[in-house]
Amino acid sequence: MTHSGEHPAHGGDLAYATRRFGTPTGGWQDLSTGISPWAYPVGEVPAQVWRQLPVDQSGLIRSAAAYYGADPAHILPVPGSQFALARLPALLESASVALPRPGYEEHARHWLAGGHTPIFYRGLAELREAAEAGRVCHAVVINPNNPTGERVAARELLALSQSLPGILLVDEAFADLWPSLSVAAAVSSNPRLYVLRSVGKFFGLAGVRLGFLLGSGSAVAKLHSGMDPWAVNTPALWVGERALADRHWQISQRQRISEAAQALSQLLANCVPESVECANSGLFVTLQGDRPYLQALFTKLGHGGIFSRWCYSAANTEPAWLRLGLPEDKGRRLTEVLCD
Ligand SMILES: Cc1ncc(COP(=O)(O)O)c(C=O)c1O
């Protein structure tokens, strides 16, 4: 896929970075996504995995049920959580929907395309207020939020769901570092609660395209019935089953990511002015506030061969933010560019 244009089409749009800054000596250090730079070691894939049609999902679903702590009957494998978040709104009757701003913009795009009326909220307190006042039917919570890193406790989400007449969709694409945040176990007893999980971020396997929609409500069956029977391919089933069951690797991955995020956060906090807030979200660190400063930092990093994710509202109605994923090199290159 190639894109031309003024703005990156998505995190990881290195074609945009090259158009904007030229090709850096030594290549790009891409910190524009929240994908772990340490991927699950796939190893050698048996030949029949490439040959066989993906008929049997039971092994993957078993691993996913144990990993997410959810009932296997309520787990639907999908080719990336994006697949489900893009289709779910069209399966629900048009209504008002509360969406986080800032938040992963793909949610807003698809709820709008599905004929719903978006109502944007900033932080849980605003969402709770809108729900309690009866101003919203459905709600989306990204937990932790991308890009702000706001985390909401599971019990708060469960209480929120009770105050909504419609569904609560909790996007847990970045939740693997905090298993206790997850509401996946609660979907079986609450048919208006849906959860999205991704194998792309924490496991560093975004290219495999594997994720899950968890839920006991009718939207899961509707999504399933509209899916191609081979939508999740055999290599994805094979690697997903192993990665989700590999507790040893998960423990060291959690440790590796927490240390890298802590170091990145410290490095950035030491060099940004007081007008900029620094939030550590595990798989990325987000700076928010002073727009000219952040814009200049994005440009400086770009010229130094480091691609970050930069966003601001043209009308200046929202705080600008700059998001950096975890560097693989313990921040060596970032330190060089920042100290330059
Ligand atoms: C918050 C959030 N949810 C879901 C996705 C989709 O991820 P995937 O389709 O790789 O599971 C993304 C991708 O960046 C994201 O940031």
Is residue 88 domain-shared with residue 196, that is, in the same domain? yes
- What CATH number did the domain enclosing 187 receive? 3.40.640.10
Is 331 within the bounds of a domain?
A: yes
Give the confidence band of 4 by pLDDT, cuts at 50, 70, 90: very low
> What is residue 94's predicted lDDT score, i.e. its pLDDT?
96
Confidence at 340, pLDDT banded by 50, 70, 90: confident
Confidence class for position 3, pLDDT limits 50, 70, 90: very low
> Is 1 within the bounds of a domain?
no
Do both 239 and 266 map to the same domain?
no
Q: How many CB atoms lie within 10 A of CB 183?
A: 27
The rounded mean pLDDT for the chain is 95
DSSP β-bridge partners for residue 99: 120
The answer on 261 and 201 residing in a single domain is: no
Shortest-distance Cα residue to atom 13 of ligand 1: 82
Whether residues 81 and 181 fall in one domain: yes
Asked if residue 257 is part of any domain, the answer here is yes
Question: Based on the structure, what is the number of domains in the chain?
Answer: 2
At 318 the pLDDT is 81
Of the residues 197, 212, 245, the one at which a domain ends: 245
Are residue 97 and residue 133 in the same domain, yes or no? yes
Is any ligand 1 atom within 6 A of the Cβ of residue 281?
A: no
- Specify whether 305 is located in the same domain as 285: yes
Q: Does 38 reside within a domain? A: no
CATH of the domain at 303: 3.90.1150.10
Q: Is residue 193 part of a domain?
A: yes
Quick one: 79 and 142 in the same domain? yes
Q: Which pLDDT score, from 0 to 100, does residue 317 have?
A: 77
Helix axes 154-162, 124-132, angle to 10 degrees: 20
The verdict on 56 and 185 lying in the same domain is yes
Point out the least confidently predicted range of 113-127, 235-249, 306-320, 322-336: 306-320
Question: 5 pLDDT band (50/70/90 cuts)?
Answer: low
CA of 173 to the centre of ligand 1 (A): 6
- CA dist 82 and 196 (Å) reads 9
Q: For the residues 14-36, what does the mean pLDDT come to?
A: 93
Q: What angle do CA 333, 338, 340 make, to 5 degrees?
A: 95
Distance between Cα 81 and ligand 1 center (Å): 6
Query: Whole domain around residue 91: which residue ranges?
Result: 47-245
d(CA 38, ligand 1 centre) in Å: 17
Closest residue by Cα to atom 5, ligand 1, is 82
Query: Is residue 4 assigned to a domain?
Result: no
Q: Which atom of ligand 1 is nearest to the CA of 209?
A: 10
What is the C-alpha to C-alpha distance for residues 77 and 47, in angstroms, rounded to an integer?
23
- Determine what percent of the chain is predicted with pLDDT higher than 90: 91
**Which of the listed residues 245, 263, 285 is the one where a domain comes to its end?**
245
Residue where the block lists tokens 């089933």? 237
232 and 275 housed in the same domain: no
Q: Map residue 225 onto helix, strand or coil.
A: helix
206-247 residue pLDDT tens: 999 999 999 999 999 999 999 999 999 999 999 999 999 999
Query: Tens digit of pLDDT for each residue in 247-294?
Result: 999 999 999 999 999 999 999 999 899 999 999 999 999 999 999 999
Residues 288 and 177 in one domain: no
Q: 131-160: b or e for each residue (b if 16 or more CB lie within 10 Å)?
A: beeeebbbbbbbbbbbbbbbbbebebbbeb
214 lies in the same domain as 273:
no
285 and 225 inside one domain: no
In a domain, 37, yes or no: no
Beta carbon of 82 within 6 Å of any ligand 1 atom: yes
Distance 133 CA to ligand 1 centre (A): 30
Exposure on the CB side of residue 253, measured as CA atoms within 13 A: 22
pLDDT over 70 at 188, yes or no: yes
Q: Could you read off the pLDDT of 90-108 as tens digits, one per residue?
A: 999 999 999 999 999 999 9
Mean pLDDT of 145-159: 97
Q: What is the pLDDT of residue 184?
A: 98
Is 5 a domain residue? no
Last residue of a domain, one of 245, 260, 285: 245
**CA dihedral in degrees (244, 214, 34, 292; nearest 10)?**
-160
